[in-house]
Amino acid sequence: MNDFHINSTKKYNNSYKKSVESPEAFWGELASKNFIWKEKWSKVVDFDFNKAKISWFKNAKLNITVNCLDRHAESDPNKTAIIFEPNNPDEKNKSYTYSELLKEVCKMANVLKKLGVKKGDRVCIYLPMIPELAFSVLACARIGAIHSVVFAGFSSNALATRIDDCESTLIITSDGSFRGDKTLNLKKIVDDALKICKTDQRVLLVKRTNESVNLVEKRDFLLDNLIINIEDTCEAEIMDAEDPLFILYTSGSTGKPKGMVHSCGGYMVYTSYTFKNIFQYEENDIYWCTADIGWITGHSYILYGPLSNGATTIMFEGVPSYPDFSRFWQIVDKYKVNQFYTAPTAIRALAKQGVRFLENNNLSSLKVLGTVGEPINEEAWQWYNIHVGKDKCPIVDTWWQTETGGILISSSPKVVPDKPTWATKPFIGVQPILIDENGNELDKANVVGKLCIKYPWPSIARTIWGNHQRYVDTYFSAFENMYFTGDGAFKDEDGNFRITGRVDDVIIVSGHNLGTAPIEDAINEHDNIAESAIVGFPHEIKGNALYGFVTLKSKSENITKIKNEINSLISKKIGPIAKLDKIQITTGLPKTRSGKIMRRILRKIASNQTENLGDISTLLNPDVVQEIINNYQK
Ligand code: WTA
């Protein structure tokens, strides 16, 4: 017995056991029974972790959109697939049934074909959270083009780097985007990016804000013009299970972002199975994930996971604070949301506003609450539980990564009990272990170690676009024969995991992964900056915020001006999400004799914990430490 729906602890235990003891039989049966394949596989899983070679459902043929759209359009055409809630609550919302969504996706797919896009081509999507974003993503999948969605808060430089890295040929964007009471001119950002891009692009423009935009002849095309009289059917391209479905960029510990590549078959099976069971989605439930489709959470748990289950999924264009801090709760009440999935940083920001914003909204439809993106602190967990969930909704604290494609560690209602601040148990098929400093497995309870996974799951990324060696080096070289997550974790005697945070140079600010290296690279472009080091420090709402230590080439009278210039460089090169909260000008940075910056010391200073700095006498420049402590920015 191997049910798709795991609704009891007993079923979870049985399936977990089977998935670990005979993964091929387990996943083979699950995939076979619950999805539409054009051809079956020759082998369920094949892998060599040391070379980072992984394949699932080898030689199988499918199209993910057939599983996400056609089969539901056939069996339940009038069921709502996507509800679009606009930024402005006074604007009329829109919703699309499965049959309508299929037509919209096919129309967009035909537009892409008209623009010359073929199977295997990369399409960069730089759009706000509007229905056309969903249509574009699914249209790419329909015709076998590889989508690379870039979050529409990234700057033109960051966009250009991502366009050039995957050598896309088309970029889909809009005139502008609405966010709260602001509008952002996205087309202008794209125009600026294209000035620095090395690869030629065509631009497909979706109208949203109706502001005037610059249109370049033969390069820029209006969707409104191309979509007239276009057919609303489009045959699904037959894809190999291992063909890339999409690229999604994530920060790394060097300046260049990593284009994580996910493939069609395994990604579909795993996101679908986790969605159903972690959120315990039932027929006719209304599910809402507040993430942006520009991040992995939106890919897996706004689009592919819910749609492959025939679910109703909400897409929200706006922000939690507009028109006021009750917006999330108004939406929950308006659509009678059953599963609500958000980030700890949003919970903390809302908690800070007080409970009065919750008072006039009926939240009784809620059954399951979820969090993702960073560790959730006890206070925020309790607030979420009591004020939003009214102490009756289990909270699924879902741990996963862009690289993992789907949730790997989480509780699940009625199946795996939640535990405040703990991600809890591995999902079916996932084999996490903790590794000590010497690379040995820690099999005792109540210890902290580096979190690794020792067996592949179907939605693990297959490579880094254009740089497989970097994939091997980053994830499979730290420890032999396992995937290293970059996170630390604690495990209790019952086998529950609590994630303690990153153990590398990535800092999670408001749930966004920021590598320190790209920020330092951006700052170092300033004419008067010799060197810089960025570290994280605890922040009440963002979880972590950024503290920059900067040394100048020559003394400056106007420190405020330099600080402003640093943040505008960061905004320009990366985007406003990477701005520094604190900047301290120093005469030097603490370094080892081999010249490595001692970030450990800077981290402690930035967190105002200077009692225990350890032995600093072996540093190249121990004196600078006291100077930095003395000038600590409160
Ligand atoms: C962190 C987001 C604690 C973690 C899906 C991971 C978490 C990184 C949790 C990936 C959680 C994500 N508890 N930490 N529930 N979820 N993280 O790629 O450090 O944007 O490695 O994927 O976020 O972030 P990414």
pLDDT of residue 517: 86
The per-residue pLDDT for range 286-317, each reduced to its tens digit, is: 999 999 999 999 999 999 999 999 999 999 99
Does 437 or 468 have the greater pLDDT score? Answer: 468
pLDDT at 1 over 60: no
Determine the number of helices (DSSP H) and then strands (DSSP E) in the chain.
Answer: 20, 30
User: Average pLDDT for residues 556-561, to the nearest whole number?
Assistant: 88
In 3D space, the residue among 13, 20, 30 whose CA is nearest the CA of residue 433 turns out to be 20
* 47-61, 214-228, 600-614, range with the lowest pLDDT: 600-614
pLDDT tens digits along 72-94? 999 999 999 999 999 999 999 99
Cα angle value 498/503/505 (rounded, 5°): 140
Rounded distance, CA 625 to CA 281, Å? 54
Q: How far apart are CA 590 and CA 357, in angstroms?
A: 47
Q: Does 523 have pLDDT greater than 90?
A: yes
pTM over 0.85: yes
How far apart, in whole angstroms, are the C-alpha atoms of residue 120 and residue 124? 13
Confidence of residue 596 (pLDDT cuts 50, 70, 90): confident
Residue nearest to atom 24 of ligand 1 (CA): 401
Percent of the chain with pLDDT over 70: 99
Instruction: State the distance from the centre of ligand 1 to the C-alpha of 485, rounded, in angstroms.
Output: 10
Q: What is the mean pLDDT of the chain?
A: 95
pLDDT of residue 2: 67
* pLDDT-based confidence at residue 447 (cuts at 50, 70, 90): confident
What domains lie within the chain, and their CATH numbers? 65-237 (3.40.50.12780), 510-630 (3.30.300.30)
User: Mutation test of ligand 1: which of 296, 304, 369, 499 has the most ligand atoms closer than 8 Å to its C-beta?
Assistant: 499
Most confidently predicted of 56-65, 255-264, 433-442, 521-530: 56-65
The answer to whether residue 361 scores a pLDDT higher than 60 is yes
Give the count of alpha carbons within 13 A of 232, CB side only. Answer: 9
pLDDT of residue 415: 98
Ligand 1 atom nearest residue 486's Cα: 21
In this structure, the residue with its CA closest to atom 11 of ligand 1 is 399
Q: Which uninterrupted H or E stretch holds 548?
A: strand 543-552
From 374, 451, 483, 496, give the residue whose CB has the most ligand 1 atoms within 8 Å, as the site to mutate.
374
Q: Residue 284's CB: how many other CB atoms inside 10 A?
A: 10
Q: pLDDT tens digits for 97-117? A: 999 999 999 999 999 999 999
Q: Which residues are within 8 A (CB) of 619 and not within 5 positions of it... i.e. 6 or more apart?
A: 590, 591, 592, 593, 598, 625
- Tell me if 357 sits within 8 A of 325, measured CB to CB: yes
Predicted local distance difference test score (pLDDT) of residue 505: 84
Q: Can you give the pLDDT at residue 538? A: 94
Q: Which residue's C-alpha comes closest to atom 8 of ligand 1?
A: 401
Q: Which residues lie with the beta carbon below 6 Å from any ligand 1 atom?
A: 250, 295-297, 372-375, 397-402, 423, 485-487, 499, 502, 508, 513
Share of the chain above pLDDT 90, in %: 89
Q: pLDDT by residue (tens digit) across 208-265?
A: 999 999 999 999 999 999 999 999 999 999 999 999 999 999 987 666 899 999 999 9
DSSP 144-167: TPEEEE--TTS-HHHHHHHHHHHT
What local confidence, expressed as pLDDT, does residue 617 receive? 79
What spacing in Å lies between the alpha carbon of 90 and ligand 1's midpoint?
Answer: 34
Distance 373 CA to ligand 1 centre (A): 4
Q: What average pLDDT does the segment 592-607 reach?
A: 87
- Kindly report, residue by residue over 159-189, the tens digit of the pLDDT: 999 999 999 999 999 999 999 999 999 999 9
Section 43-64 average pLDDT: 98
